Structure 1
Amino acid sequence: MDNSEIKEETESKQVSPIKNFFSIKIGVMPLGVFLLLLIVDSLLIQKKILPTDMIGAGSIMVLFGFACEEIGKRIPILKNVGGKAIMATFLPSYLVYANLLPKQAVTSVDFFMKQTNFLYVFIACLIVGSILSMNRTVLIKALVRIFIPMAAALVMGSIVGTLVGTVLGLGAFKTYFFIVVPIMAGGVGEGALPLSMGYSSILKQGQAGIFAQVLPCVMLGSLVAIILSGVLKYIGQKYPKYSGNGSLLKAGKDDEILRIAQEGDKAKASANHDLSQLTVAGILSFALYLAGVYINSLIGLPAPIVMLIAVVMAKVLGLIPKNIEKGGYSLFRFIATAVTTPLLFGIGVSMTPWKNLVAVFSSPRYLIVITLTVVTIVLVGWFVGNLVGMYPVEAAIVTACNSGQGGTGVVSILTASDRLELMPFGQLATRIGGALTVVVGIALLRLLH
């Protein structure tokens, strides 16, 4: 090899400073792109001309969301228990409370999150995308089985939580109706709000006061569930025999299920993403959600549940063409990779009041009851799920979603555990489980009062 060849080889191995600079990433963004966005947003905020539309709010959510996620994945211990999701959701909440975020940035994000209903766009795409990309046989068997650990977790969570609160001197009545039921009610809009309205009518008390009482329990229960889902992810990594890596059903006596699921995973990994198919899957998501809105106006069933039922039925009956199913997987991967973290930041800014969360920490008894209730729900999900042929880690994560802060909590829980493919089952847990909890809670209160 002559000197010119040696020189050429040496130069080829050297990485230019610019390429090296762009190889550093904040979330999914190269550092150069991150810094450019930071500079542009800073200039807009300084001149007070940051738009409140999707571009303005989206730029803030992307910038700060991925920065918070980066912090979460670098903190020792926390990074192993869902640190990315926790920091992306709850750090923004604190920053807003402490006035450490630019006011115009907060206003832009808050307006976008509350006026555009973007959370439901996210949930619609994830539900449809994940259902379309699932194997039909696996889906049918998983839906049938998941209701068993869900129901068992609801019952045992209620019993243990109420007993603990009674032992700590809170009283069975107060513990069950004002701590345990709110935790499992399915979030704020679909849970705490109708619950407080029902309680107000029965107890002849102001609805606002009751809502303020139960809201902190909903938020802290969701936080505990997020942390536990991170712990479950860590357990699954350390002890692979307990984890399906996102698959709910294990082989057990039905090796065919496992074989089909594994073949499907291999096909997905090697699949080429077609933008036209992705687009069609996205349009289908919107159409089904809007159909859910219409059905909701007729019978009061939440739109996400209507959408979930519709897409599951279509999948089970084999009505969806293969090319749209492939587009569903592409849609799911895009939403999970690019949208989840910015959305969590938006949730933290506009839907997670820090002072309400902190209020619970001032009462150790409340903290103990909430924590043990959620731990019971997760443990029951683990053991009962295992008994009915599910991977314990995935079954426990799904049942943990029943303690989440509605749709926002499910997103955070599944993000912390890297199991967004479980979104349909998480939605079942929080929506159906939450609705049942609210109905039973109000009925029992009416009976006992």
Structure 2
Amino acid sequence: MSEKKRVDFSVCGLNLKYFLPFFIVVMVVTYGGFMPTVKIYSNDAGTYMATSFIQTWAFLMAIGGIFFWLGNTIPIVSSYLGGACLLPLFGASLMNHLGLIPEVLVNGAKVWMKGGFQDMYIALLLVGSILVMDRKVLLSATARYMPAILGSQVFALGACVLGGMLTGFGGADGLFYVGAPCMSGGSGGAITTLPALYSSLAGADMTGLAGQFLCYASIANVLAVLFAAIGGAVTEKIPGWNGKGKILKAGSQASEEAMKEVKRPATSANYVNLGSGIFMSLCFYLAGNVLGSLPVLNNIAGLAWTIILAIIVKCTGIIPDEFADNCVYSMNFALKALLPMLIAGIGICSLNITDLTKFFSLGVLVVIVLGVLGAFIGAIIFGRLAGLYPYEAGITAGLCCCNIGGSGDIAVLTAGNRMNLLAFASISTRIGGALMVIWIGLLYPLFMR
């Protein structure tokens, strides 16, 4: 008899035996009338009560952590639907909809989320995702791989505009509100970065779009996996279009070696380094906001300037790697420790579960299919022109820009039997997602005002 695969329980870094007593404490405090609260004064809402940060954090970590673990544990949901992010978002929202979360705790979550926690998370994520790249990787990617990413994005943006026009959304809405969330650097970009960017550009709170955007990104992820499998089978029959796992054509082996990502520790035992990374990431974000507020320069959003500054700093080596790596530690801290509670907070504060039926339609599917297909075709064409094998360029520079992030990259590459190209996929997710945010930051003011 074959041994059944064991499911390991791990929430907040604890196994079930040790997590359960702490979870019970949180639940007793939450539903037993023991929650610590504070009085909030607001010009708009008057005076109201909200839970303190201690209670808010503990509840969001517990609930978000459980849903996050479930999303990672359920195979199909985890691999193809972005379950690790999907379940905390919709699970917390459903709990709120059913009245399972006390109003004072909902208020506490809103104070915490609206008070800048989401912006802090975005700063740690964006800066770290760029500084994690090896300088040689960035420079080599710019010379050979970046044209494939840029070509892919141009085709994808054009296809989304076309899809919006064909389905009645309108080109601009099809691009910004259906297509762009599928190509913004994974689920994190869809549920945090884009809503924050649109909020700053439009001058109105658009964080409620998070659930809608994640829904669209999950659909794109499934399509990317499907196109990877189909594209591999088709290109194997076309001479010169499939590198059998090699992305750079003959004569480019030295470049391929240069683009291998240098391994570095994901974290540090020195907590001063972690604090340094948090501090620098927040300062990058603040500097981006300054540039985004200056005359002429304000045509580019502050969030996009943050990305540009990080790329410049990494490529020029102004900040030595020994210090830049600190931002990598803070990014991984955000991803490993803060992501479940962030998503649960977004679910409680920004997602109305009754609106979910409005998110999906045949028109939405048409726009997303055209966008993902455009990204795939654009990467194939421009990759071939840059001396890359078309299929390998298409699957990495194209399809890995249209998924839910790291787990999406793995799903796409597995479908194409190209796991050896994970470093290239990482470039697409990190740098490609950042570039898409810059594209959107530039185009949104031109078409949506």
TM-score after normalising by structure 1: 0.70
Higher-Rg structure is 1
Q: How far does residue 233 in structure 1 lie from its aligned partner after superposition? A: 6.4
- Equivalent position SS for 1:111: helix
For the 8 Å contact 1:274–1:327, the answer to whether it is kept is: no
For the 8 Å contact 2:97–2:353, the answer to whether it is kept is: yes
Q: How far apart in 1 are the matches of 2:200 and 2:357?
A: 20
- Equivalent position SS for 1:29: coil
Residue of structure 1 in register with 2:45 after alignment: none
Q: How far apart in 2 are the matches of 1:126 and 1:30?
A: 27
- Equivalent position SS for 1:25: coil
2:294 aligned with 1:279, yes or no? no
Residue of structure 2 in register with 1:8 after alignment: none
Out of 47, 55, 61, the position equivalent to 2:33 is 47
Q: How far apart in 2 are the matches of 1:257 and 1:97?
A: 53
Higher mean alpha-carbon deviation, 147-156 vs 388-397, is at 388-397
1:130-279 alignment runs, 5 A limit: 130-142=129-141, 144-145=146-147, 146-163=149-166, 165=167, 170=168, 175-176=170-171, 178-184=173-179, 187-191=194-198, 219-229=211-221, 232=224, 250-252=247-249, 254-262=252-260, 264-265=262-263, 267-268=264-265, 274-279=270-275
Cα gap change, 1:262/1:219 in structure 2, threshold over 3 Å: closer, same or farther? same
Higher mean alpha-carbon deviation, 371-380 vs 229-238, is at 229-238
For the 8 Å contact 2:71–2:85, the answer to whether it is kept is: yes
Q: How far does residue 373 in structure 1 lie from its aligned partner after superposition? A: 0.9
2:87 aligned with 1:96, yes or no? no
1:291-330 alignment runs, 5 A limit: 291-299=287-295, 300=298, 301-330=300-329
Residue of structure 2 in register with 1:371 after alignment: 365
Per-residue CA deviation, residues 359-399 of structure 1 (Å, 9 max, x unaligned), is 345xxxxx111122122222222232244247544434564
Residue of structure 2 in register with 1:32 after alignment: 17
Q: How far apart in 1 are the matches of 2:199 and 2:88?
A: 23
Per-residue CA deviation, residues 11-50 of structure 1 (Å, 9 max, x unaligned), is xxxxxxxxxxxx7423643223422332222222222524
Q: How far apart in 1 are the matches of 2:211 and 2:128?
A: 28
Q: How far apart in 1 are the matches of 2:283 and 2:110?
A: 26
What amino acid maps onto 2:14 in structure 1?
Answer: M
Residue of structure 2 in register with 1:339 after alignment: 338
Q: How far apart in 2 are the matches of 1:33 and 1:398?
A: 38
What amino acid maps onto 1:25 in structure 2?
Answer: S
- Equivalent position SS for 1:319: coil
List gaps (5 residues or longer) in structure 1: 1-22, 198-206, 243-248, 362-366, 402-412, 444-449
- Equivalent position SS for 1:298: coil
Cα gap change, 1:360/1:106 in structure 2, threshold over 3 Å: closer, same or farther? same
Q: How far apart in 1 are the matches of 2:362 and 2:276?
A: 47
Q: How far does residue 420 in structure 1 lie from its aligned partner after superposition? A: 8.0
- Equivalent position SS for 1:425: helix
Q: How far apart in 1 are the matches of 2:77 and 2:174?
A: 26
For the 8 Å contact 1:125–1:332, the answer to whether it is kept is: yes
Per-residue CA deviation, residues 239-290 of structure 1 (Å, 9 max, x unaligned), is 9999xxxxxx94446433432343503x447x86543333322211111111
- Equivalent position SS for 1:73: helix
- Equivalent position SS for 1:84: helix
Instruction: Point out the structure with the larger helix share.
Output: 1
Q: How far does residue 91 in structure 1 lie from its aligned partner after superposition? A: 2.2
2:370 aligned with 1:384, yes or no? no
Q: How far apart in 2 are the matches of 1:33 and 1:368?
A: 46
Cα gap change, 1:395/1:347 in structure 2, threshold over 3 Å: closer, same or farther? farther
Q: How far apart in 2 are the matches of 1:428 and 1:378?
A: 16
For the 8 Å contact 1:181–1:441, the answer to whether it is kept is: no
Per-residue CA deviation, residues 337-371 of structure 1 (Å, 9 max, x unaligned), is 2222221111211122223332345xxxxx11112
For the 8 Å contact 1:127–1:424, the answer to whether it is kept is: no
List gaps (5 residues or longer) in structure 2: 1-7, 38-50, 182-193, 236-245, 410-424
Q: How far does residue 432 in structure 1 lie from its aligned partner after superposition? A: 2.3
For the 8 Å contact 2:277–2:327, the answer to whether it is kept is: yes
1:385-424 alignment runs, 5 A limit: 385-387=379-381, 388=383, 389=388, 391-396=393-398, 399-400=401-402, 413-414=404-405, 417=408, 422-424=429-431
What amino acid maps onto 1:414 in structure 2?
Answer: G
For the 8 Å contact 1:80–1:234, the answer to whether it is kept is: no
Q: How far does residue 238 in structure 1 lie from its aligned partner after superposition? A: 12
- Equivalent position SS for 2:292: helix
TM-score after normalising by structure 2: 0.70
